[in-house]
Structures are given as C-alpha cells and as structure tokens.
Homo-oligomer: A and B are copies of this chain.
Amino acid sequence: MPSEIPLYDIVIIGAGPVGLLLSVALSRWGYKVRHIDNRPVPTATGRADGIQPRSLEILKNMGLKRKVMAHDPARVFEVAFWDPAPGGKIVRTGTWASCPEFLDARYPFTALLHQGLIERVLIEDLEKNGTTVQRPWTITRFETNHKNAEYPVEVDLKNLDSNVTDTVRAKYLFSGEGARSFVREQLGVQIRHKDPISHVWGVMDGVVRTNFPDIKMKCTIHSDHGSIMVIPRENNMVRLYIQIASSTDPDFNPRKTATVEEVQAAAQKIFAPYYCDWDRVEWYSVYPIGQGIADKYTLDHRVFMGGDVCHTHSPKAGQGMNTAFHDAINFAWKMHLVESGFASRDVLSTYEVERKFIAETLLNFDNKYAALFSKRQPSASEVSDAHESGSKETKNEFVEMFKANCEFTSGFGVAYNGNIFNHSDDHRFQHPLIISGSPKIRPGRIMPPSNVTRVVDANVVHLENEIPFNGSFRMFVFAGLGQSPRPDGHQALADFARHLTAPNSFYTRFGYGDASRDIHHDSENPHSRFFSLALVFAAKRSEIEIADLPALFRDYAAKVYADDRKDVRVLESKAAAHAKVGLEGEEGAVVVVRPDGHVGIAVRLVEGRGTVEALEGYFRSFTARDGGLGGGADRVRSQL
C-alpha cells in the first residue's frame, strides 16, 4: 500500500563531510531528511583533516567555526620546503605562506584536526534540528518514477546489523558515499581518469619526538631516499604522508602495503640527519589513490552525487573535505530554492556545471602537483648554483607550482563561470546599470571580507557574515560615499526602497504576503524567506539614525552598518567596505550575493526605478514563473 511508504524530502547516503554538511543545511531549513551511513559508528580518528581558509569562512558563516576551533586544531600558516643536501641529508630551501597576504582571507591558515571531530560538530547540529544519522544502514536499490510527481524517488534501505529493510519515497536522493559508490555504479556513471598514474600512500598520525626543527610546520621533504609530507595536528600530533608505491614503478602492485615499522624506518631515512622517534601512533592506513572524476553528478535531477563519489585525487593538497563542503552547500541552496517554490527546477543543472568545473580544476592541479611531489628535486647545492646564475626561480618546479596555486588551495580560487546566477556579458538579461568588469566585485567569486560597525549596538562585525547561510539571497546595499545617511539627502536609496517594495516587484512577489506577521525579532528575514538585506553607509555610526530611514530598512534595523573601520588593505580609502567592492565614488551599489556567499550580480544605486529594474530582470531569469502571478505563489506564501 503506497500510502504507508514513509515520505522524505531527501534521502542522504553517507555521513562523511559532504553528506553531513548537506544534512545540516537542509535540517536547519526544515526539510525532512532520511540520513544513513553504513559504518556502525562515526569516524573515530584519522582520515581527512585539513580545513582551508575559505572553508573556515563557510563554517563561520554557518555558525559552526567556533565549535570546530574548540577542538584546538593545529594551524598551518606557512609551508617549509626541504630538499636533498649532499651526503644523503636534507636542508630547508625555503618557506612560503600557505595563504599569502595578497589573498584577503579572514583566517589565513589551514586548521588541522581529524575528520571525526569535524563530523561530531556537524552531527550535533543536525540532531538539534531533528535529523539522526541511522547506522549501520545501506542502500540496496533506488528508482526514479516521474509518474509520482511529488516523491519520484523510491529507495530501499537495509540495516546491516538486523537485516531489517525499509522502502521510502523521497523528492531527492543524494549520494555522499565516498569513492566506492553504489549509487554511481547503479547509474552507470563512469569515472574518467585524468591521470593514469595511481599511487599507494601510507599515512600515519601520532606523537613524535624529534629534533627536526619544522615538525610543527607543514613541510614537503624531498630526499634522496624518497618524499614525505609533514602536517601538524591537534593534540601535539603530527601526520606523515609517505608514498609507498606508484604505478610508474617497474614492479607496481596497487595492493602493495607496508607495516607501521616499515613506514617509520622509511621516514627515519628521509629525515636524516634528524632523528624521529614515535611516542605513539594514533592512526595508520595504506591506501591506493587514483585520480578520477565522474562524468555526471546527476542524470535525472532527482538523484545527485557529491564529494568523493564524484572526484578522487591525492591527499597532498588537502582538498578533499573542502571540495566536499562546497559540493554540499552548492546543492543545498539550489534544492531549497526549487522546493520552496522560488526558483524554477532547471536551476538544479547548475550544480553539476559549477562543481564539476571546480573538480576538473582541482584534478588538473593535483595531477601536476603529485607528479612534481614524487619527482626528486634538485639538491640545495644545485639550487644554490642556479640561484647564483639568476635562474633559481625556474629550477624548483615544485615550489613554483605550490606558490602559483595558493589561491586555489586556500579555496579562494572557487570562481564559478557565468551562468543564470553569476551575471556576465553572456547572461540573457542585460541592463545598463549592471556593474561589469569590476576587478573587485566579480560574479561567481565571494564578496571580499570587511569590518563595519553595526548601528544598533555599535558592535564591530564581519559584514560578509552578517547574513548567515540561511537560504536567502543577500542584498548588500552600499549607500555610496559622500551620501548623507539621512533619507532626504539620499534620493537613490529612497527610490530603491520604494520600488523594491512595490506590489509587483520580485521582492514583494516572494514575500510572506502577511502584513500582520510579527517581525519584531526577525532581523534577517522580516519580509521574505528568500531575501535578506544589509545597508552600509559611508558615514560614522553616530550620524546614522535608523528611525529616519525608509520603512524597508527600519524593518532591517539590526542590518544597518557604518563603514567606519580602518582596513590595512585599503588604508587610504574613506570607507573600507565600499573600497573593497570597488566603490570609491559618490554612487552606491547593490551587491547581490547568492546564499552560498558567491556574488551573483552588482547593480549601480541610482535615482529612479532603474536599480530595482535591473535586479528584477536578474531574478526573473531564474525564479519560478508563477511567482506572484497565480496559485503557485499563493501556495508558497501560505506555506511560509
């Protein structure tokens, strides 16, 4: 009897980073999630461990960073390069910032702690919102039947302990199963191997005693006895990555292994002349790594995949979990906007387009990086010779490769191409007020971080984090320099407020439509579940009176800011937050930021209805067609 089948918004398979972060977001937004994992318990230790600077910003924006940092992760600010020295020794040939100053990162370091601690933070959060990860459960069958328009996906699940089975129906199925994926296999999606070379890696976490001076730094060590990567960890631990075999070896065996003692002995040889003794080993694993990327992330826009299911690569650049986080949030907000009636269903296709492009960039990078890592590097004396002849820079390819890719490995290279969300000259909607070609505010990239003073409580806050990852589009209204914060002195702002709240505007169409709603304590979404506004004046806090602002902004009282903080990156600017988005003149702008923090479009703030007109065109290109016009919108309103 079909009516007895349990119904879910989504079934998520796998409770690694991608599955958990997706589950966290959707659970917070009220979706009914069935989440299973085939492991009996969460990760206890080891595995993925690097949270890149941009991922820390994502966690901050989700209110999860503090809980992760409470585990006191190691912080990597610099990487040291060690190369062969005469006599079979090693010598430090240089260091380099892991997130150099030219990247405007709020947290310019990588945080390192084991995956289990990160999972714990995410599991606690989703449990608070009513979702539990069921273990050990696996998926045994799934099928999409479009005849069932509302819950087209049927999924068979099985408890691996009790062998109890369960059949459920869902709107979506998401696989975050990891590299070995039942869902991907069933779909017949192929893994394409960028690089035919595969490697066997040994990884060991533990506490060492050593006189190697950089044991608390991230290091790449190339010696005549092999290569190793050193990564500091929480709790005084260190992680060593050591390559055990490569498919380029004459006798390559992908099942080659090594004991703890063998790896320790190999490491000791590489570390010479320094000693390296082990107090204890917390985790040790040997695993083959092949580079691969899935041809498709979805076939039918109902069954989706993400994380290691779609892309595998070497662990050396610390990208795995970070790419998974991006996959998760990218899918979460798009599914949310479709299911809540805001966006048309075809926006779901941008998930694969955006994320597969990044995975390909990652694999191209990893490809070259892994090859150079495995290659013996010139020894210090060779480099020194080269340096004297003025060509050092080209000699150590590995170091040059590392430096060139800092932006990407820090996560700030996640730059989506133009599409329906990321306005470009190819977008089907164009308007003269749209800002294009700005080097500071680039659709597809994140908005630069800046500090501002919140007017209501004089708190110094992160502007970019003032609107959390809540599923809404964020409209940052920069009032412009030399504009009075008084409404009678700022006609463009008054016009913007008037036209935005006009009865047929996109803002009103997707509003709650309920004038009696109590918005007193709803500072983020007073009018609409789909939009959050923030207003930034290039003025002193004491000059800004919220009571004098247009009614629109009075309802956003807690989101009005004074752009009055000094920023060392733009010390000469009168208003740092304005300068960081490229606004140095009198005119303001509205910067629309997607729910995941990436810029969608920026429009000049001018008198008249032009600004809202430009935004209207942008949103109309992907919002649901019946929004505000017929039964659909009414249905949405009554649901919210």
A interface vs B, CB < 8 Å?
66-67, 69-70, 74-78, 95, 109, 207, 209, 211, 213-217, 232, 236, 453, 456-460, 520-521, 541-542, 545-547, 558, 566, 568
Contact = CB atoms under 8 A, between A and B. Distances in A.
29 contacts: A66-B66, A66-B69, A66-B70, A70-B70, A75-B457, A75-B459, A76-B457, A77-B453, A77-B457, A77-B458, A77-B459, A77-B460, A78-B458, A78-B541, A95-B458, A95-B542, A209-B521, A213-B456, A213-B545, A213-B547, A215-B456, A216-B456, A216-B457, A217-B456, A217-B457, A232-B457, A236-B521, A566-B568, A568-B568
A286 B546 CA distance: 34
A236 B520 CA distance: 11
A521 B236 CA distance: 8
A33 B69 CA distance: 31
Nearest to A518: B209
A70 B217 CA distance: 29
Contacts of A74: 457
A234 to B, nearest CB: 13
A109 B458 CA distance: 10
Nearest to A75: B459
Q: State the copy count for this chain.
A: 2
A209 B70 CA distance: 34
Contacts of A78: 458, 541
Nearest to A74: B457
Contacts of A214: 456
Contacts of A545: 213
Nearest to A216: B457
A459 to B, nearest CB: 5
Given A66-B66, A217-B457, 4 more contacts: A95-B542, A109-B459, A213-B456, A236-B521
Nearest to A63: B72
Nearest to A94: B542
A459 B460 CA distance: 24
B458 A209 contact: no
B457 A213 contact: no
A59 B479 CA distance: 39
A545 B76 CA distance: 19
Contacts of A457: 74-77, 216-217, 232
Query: For A69, A207, A217, which residue has the most chain B Cβ atoms within 10 angstroms?
Result: A217
9 closest Cβ pairs, A-B complex: A216-B457, A78-B458, A77-B458, A216-B456, A209-B520, A75-B459, A217-B457, A77-B459, A213-B547
Nearest to A109: B459
Contacts of A217: 456-458
Query: For A95, A458, A460, A545, which residue has the most chain B Cβ atoms within 10 angstroms?
Result: A458
Contacts of A232: 457
A148 B458 CA distance: 58
A109 B211 CA distance: 43
A547 B212 CA distance: 9
A458 B76 CA distance: 7
Nearest to A208: B520
Nearest to A108: B460
A213 B75 contact: no
Nearest to A214: B456
A121 to B, nearest CB: 12
Nearest to A558: B216
A570 to B, nearest CB: 14
Query: For A215, A520, A545, A547, which residue has the most chain B Cβ atoms within 10 angstroms?
Result: A520
A238 B349 CA distance: 47
A95 B453 CA distance: 14
A213 B546 contact: yes
A305 B502 CA distance: 67
A542 B547 CA distance: 54
A213 B67 CA distance: 33
Nearest to A79: B458
Contacts of A558: 216
A70 B216 CA distance: 28
Contacts of A67: 70
Contacts of A547: 211, 213
Contacts of A76: 457-458
A70 B546 CA distance: 29
Query: For A69, A95, A213, A566, which residue has the most chain B Cβ atoms within 10 angstroms?
Result: A213
A520 B275 CA distance: 13
Contacts of A460: 77
Contacts of A69: 66
A216 B66 CA distance: 23
A568 B458 CA distance: 21
A72 to B, nearest CB: 9
A452 to B, nearest CB: 13
Nearest to A66: B70
A546 B459 CA distance: 41
